[in-house]
Amino acid sequence: MLYLIFALIALLYAKWVIFAAALLPIRLLKMRSLRRERGRTPAVRPAADAQAPDFMGGGESLSSLLKRYVFGYMRYASFQTGLIPSHHVRDFLYRRVWLVDLAPQAIIYWGAEIRDSQHLHIGRGSIVGDKALLDARNGIRIGCNVNLSSDVHIYTEQHDHRDPWFRCNSDGSFGVTICDRAWIGPDTTLLPGVTVGEGAVVAAGAVVTGDVAPYTIVAGIPARKIGERNRDLRYEFTGRPAPFY
């Protein structure tokens, strides 16, 4: 019976072992991307091309084709990482391959999609609920003992509706910060440039378009203040997740 259990576990994880080995090139690409960013002046981003972006159509060079496939594979692999039925394996890959700054006792539950993971910081004891979308292209900083419920979407990049080519004309100011012990409810959306203050609560289904003051409760679309939260918060999350999930 014991051998049967070990065989079932081996079958369960065999494909994920092969998948993890295939992620090595992604770590090398992430490290290269970080080195290039550190060599660039922090306040300066690459200038937008005056011509139409690739998705507008026209001819495509071999180099552009390869970049598109690499980008697609990385997006696919990032999503698949979130489906691995083991917190230990996922955390190892998030830290060592995807370069997430993941503090001890932080938890990322099943089904997360993380974009530009090297710009994501999650503080000690914080919890990211299942099926979260964390768009860290311009940076996401999550403090300590923060609770993100299921299906939370955080965006730090967006297309400019005023741009003739519909480009993303964003910069570092589009980053999102969530301070200690904030609670972000299920099915909520945080838009670029938002700061959620310490101990604040974002109610279920809200769309946050501006900063949320510490210890306030906001709700609605767009989110508006509806109350105050107790300021005497003492809880510390343990970092013990539900296994597999």
pLDDT in tens, 131-141: 999 999 999 99
**Percentage of residues of the chain with pLDDT beyond 90:** 55
Measure the CA angle with vertex 63, ends 58 and 66; round to 5°: 100
Residues annotated as part of the active site:
159
**Percentage of residues of the chain with pLDDT beyond 70:** 82
In the DSSP assignment, the letter for residue 103 is -
Residues 41-89 pLDDT 10s: 554 444 444 445 555 555 667 778 788 888 888 888 888 899 988 898 8
Question: What stretches in the chain show pLDDT beneath 50?
Answer: 43-51
Q: In terms of DSSP bridges, do strands 224-228 and 216-219 run parallel, antiparallel, or are they unpaired?
A: antiparallel
Whether residue 222 is preceded by a cis peptide bond, meaning omega within 30 degrees of 0, is yes
8 Å CB contact between 166 and 160: yes
8 Å CB contact between 228 and 214: no
In DSSP terms, 228 is beta-bridged to 216
Q: What pLDDT is recorded for position 47? A: 41
Domain 15-37+66-160+171-228 falls under CATH 1.10.20.60: no
